[in-house]
Amino acid sequence: MRGAAPDESHRSEPRSSRSPKRLESLPAADVARAVSRRLRAWYRHHGRDLPWRHIRDPYQILVSELMLQQTQVSRVLEFYDSFVERFPTLHDVARARPGQVREAWQGLGYYARATNLHRLARVVTRDGGDARLPADPAALRKLPGIGAYTAGAVASFAYERRAALVDTNVARVLARIFDPARERRTAGDLRALWRIAEAILPRRGDVAWTHNQALIELGATVCTARVRRCEICPASPWCARLAADRAATTREARAGRGRRVRRKGGSPRGFRGIRRST
C-alpha cells in the first residue's frame, strides 16, 4: 500500500479529557498473539516502502517521527532526505543556529518541532561523547519535545526495544478491535489503550518492531477515522467494533421485518408462509 492515505499523518499524541471510570478488561493472551501474528503477516505484504523503515539510526528515526507529527507522509517524503543530508547528526543540528534548522524545516509547518529538535540536540551533545539518543523510553521522555508516543517509537524503531506506542491512529485501531467504547479517547480511555498496547506487544523487540509498524500502517491506510475498510482488514475476525456493527444491522433487519408483518396483520411465520409441522 503505497502513496497517500487519509490518516497517514499518524504521529500526533492523542488528546484526552476526563471521564468516569469504567471496568477494564485486557485481551486474552491467545487473542493478543493471534491478532499480532495476523497484523505482522499483513504488514510484510502491504506495508509502504518508506525510507525511515530501512534504517536504525536513532537520530534519523527521531527526525522522521517529528516530521510525521500532524503532517502527511507524502509531504514528509519531500523534506526528509534533504534535511538529514544538511544535518546528518545531532552534532550538526546542535552546531547550527536555530534559524538554520527552522529554514531547513521550511514548508513542513509546526515549526516548534524544529525548535524542539535543536534544543534536544544541544542537550544531548552538551557533555560531548557520541551524542547518542538513549534507548530507554523513560530517558527519552526527559528530552525536549519528546512525548510518550515518540519515546516509544524511537526505542522500538531505532533500538528494537520492546516498547509500546500509542498515537492517534493506533489508539483508534486498538479501541475498535478490543474496546469500541474507548474511541472517545478520554484520559481514562487513553490510559486503558496504553495498557492494551502493552498487553498485545510481542515479547521480542525485533518482532515488536514489525508489530508496531503494522499497527501504524493499519490506522493510516485501512482503519482510518473517516473510512473503515473492514473487508480487507487483517484484524476483522477479532474486531469488536465490526462485530457490534453487524449485530446492530441484524437487529435492525429483524425489527424491520417485524414492522412489515404488523402492518400486514400477521405473524412473521404466517407472513413467510411457513407452517409448523404437526
Give CA–CA dist 101/272, Å, rounded. 73
Give CA–CA dist 220/14, Å, rounded. 14
Percentages of the chain per state (helix, strand, coil), in multiples of 5:
60, 0, 40
DSSP state of 3: S
Task: Find the Cα–Cα–Cα–Cα dihedral 48, 49, 51, 52, rounded to 10°.
Answer: 50
Query: What does the buried/exposed string (b/e) look like for 248-260 if buried means 16 or more CB atoms within 10 Å of the residue's CB?
Result: eeeeeeeeeeeee
Give CA separation, 98 vs 12, 160, 209, in Å: 23, 31, 33
Place of cell 531547513: 104
Give CA separation, 119 vs 71, 143, 144, in Å: 21, 9, 6
Of 8, 65, 78, 160, catalytic: 65
Report the amino acid identity of residue 54.
H
Place of cell 475498535: 176
183 noted as active-site residue: no
- Backbone phi and psi for residue 118, each to the nearest 5 degrees, phi listed first: -65, -45
Confirm if 27 and 47 have CB atoms less than 8 A apart: no
Catalytic residues: 65
